[in-house]
Amino acid sequence: MAVKIRERPLGSGIWWLFIDHQGKRKSKKIGKDKRLAREVAKKIEAKLTLGEFQLEKLKPECPTFKEYAEIWLGLPHDWKESTWNNYKDNLRLHAYPVFRNCRLNEISRKDLKAFFDKLLIKGLHPSTVVLIRCPISGVLSHAMDSELIESNPLKDLQLRYKKKALDVEPLAEKEVDLLLKQIKKYLDGFYYPPVLCALRTGMRIGEIQALQWGDVDFNGRFIEVRQSWRKKRLTDTKSKKRRRVDMTAHLAETLKNLRVVQKKRALKQGRTVSEWVFADKNGKILNREMFKRALNRCLDQAGLRSIRVHDLRHSYATIRLLRGHNIGDVSYQLGHSSISITYDTYGHWMPGRFKSEVDELDNPQQSATYPQPNSHNLGISKSFQ
C-alpha cells in the first residue's frame, strides 16, 4: 500500500496523488497546493489502513490534451525558437481543434490514426504531417513519463503514404550566367552580391541575411556561417552548427568591393558602417521580400522561368555535383546534417557519373587494383568559379 504525492510535470507546480493499493493504481490531480496534497494523502492512507476507503470511488482525473500541451510547451527545452514556434502553431492549428478537451487517457491509437489520415486526405504534404506529429508525440511521451498515461499511443504508429519527390528546380549553369548578367544591371547591381553569394556558396537566405563582416575571412577565403535570420530575429543555423564555406575568388573580390561601397555610403550619410554584409542602403539588414522581388524581376527580364529563392541554393549544389565535385564537401558546404540528405535530395541529378567505374568491372586486371586514399578522393574540392 502506498500513497505518494508527486509534481507532474516536474517544475509545473501541479501536485498529484498516486495511490497503489492491492494491485490497483489510481491517480488524482490536487492542484498547486503542496500542503493540501500532503494532508489528503495522509487521510487517504489512514482510511485505506482501516479499510474505510474504497479505491474505486476515487475517479482518476487526467488533464486534457490542451492543458497538458500548454504545460509541456512551457517547460525548458533544447529547441531553437523557430522549432518552439512551429510546435506551438501546429498544436494550435491542427491538434487542439480535435483533441482540445480530450483527457490524455482517453486518446486512443485509433483516434490518432484517423486524425493523421484526415490530414493526408485534405491534401497536406506528408512532411507537414510529420511535423504536426512531433509535438503531439512529445506531449504524450511526457505524460507517459509523468505516469499520467500508461503508454504513448503514437509510439510506432506507422503513417504509410507514398513519398512525393523533393521539389528541386535548380537553374542550369548557362541559366545562372544569364541571371547574374541581368541582376548586375538591375538597380546598378545592388542585388548582385547577395545573389552571387547564394549561387557560389549554397547558403540559405536566412544565413545570407545574418552574415556579418566579422564572419568573412578574406585571407583564408572563407565565410563562417554561424547564425540565421528568421522572423525578424537572429537564430542558430538550421543544424545548430557552425560551418566554414569556401568563397570563389570572384565572390571574395565582389565582397571586398561591396565593403568599399558601404564605407563610402555610410560616410556620405554620416553614420557608422553597417555590420551586415548585405545591408540595405540605410545600413539595415537585407529585406527578404525586396530580395525576392528583385530576383523575380531579373529572372523575367532574362527570359528565365520563375524559381524560389531557395532554388539558388539547389542550383549551387546541382552544378557542383554535375561537375563531379566531392559530394562530401558539397554536403558540408550546404550544412546538411548528414551526407544521406544530400544523396536523397540531389542523387538523381548525377546521371551516368559512375559509368567509367562500372566499365572497369569488364577488365579483371583493373578491377583487382584498388586506389589508395589520397587528398583528391578524400579532401575538399574547389568550388566552381
Cα(194)–Cα(280) distance, rounded to whole angstroms? 11
Show Cβ contacts of residue 382 under 8 Å, excluding neighbours closer than 6 positions.
246
Return the exposure string of 371-381: e unless at least 16 CB atoms fall within 10 Å of the residue's CB, then b: eeeeeeeeeeb
Cα(134)–Cα(137) distance, rounded to whole angstroms? 5
DSSP conformation class of 103 = B
Q: Which amino acid, 315?
A: S
Tens-place pLDDT, residues 216-271 = 999 999 999 999 998 888 998 988 889 999 999 999 999 999 999 999 999 999 99
Closest C-alpha to 27, from 36, 35, 18, 39:
18
Q: What pLDDT is stored for residue 264 in this prediction? A: 95
Please list the rounded mean pLDDT of every run of 10 residues in the chain (385 residues). Answer: 76 79 69 81 76 54 89 88 90 95 91 92 87 94 87 83 67 96 96 98 97 97 95 87 95 97 95 96 95 97 95 95 91 92 83 58 53 41 45
Measured between its terminal Cα atoms, the distance across the chain in Å is: 75
Q: What pLDDT is stored for residue 378 in this prediction? A: 36
Q: What pLDDT is stored for residue 150 in this prediction? A: 83
What is the distance, to the nearest Å, from the Cα of residue 368 to the centroid of all Cα atoms in its chain? 44
229 phi, psi to nearest 5 deg: -115, 120
SS3 category, 286:
coil
Q: Cell numbers at residue 57, please?
A: 470511488
SS3 category, 224:
strand
Q: What pLDDT is stored for residue 115 in this prediction? A: 94
Do 147 and 8 contact (CB within 8 A), yes or no? yes
Tens-place pLDDT, residues 341-359 = 898 888 877 755 555 555 6
- Residue identified by cell 556620405 is 268
Q: What pLDDT is stored for residue 381 in this prediction? A: 40
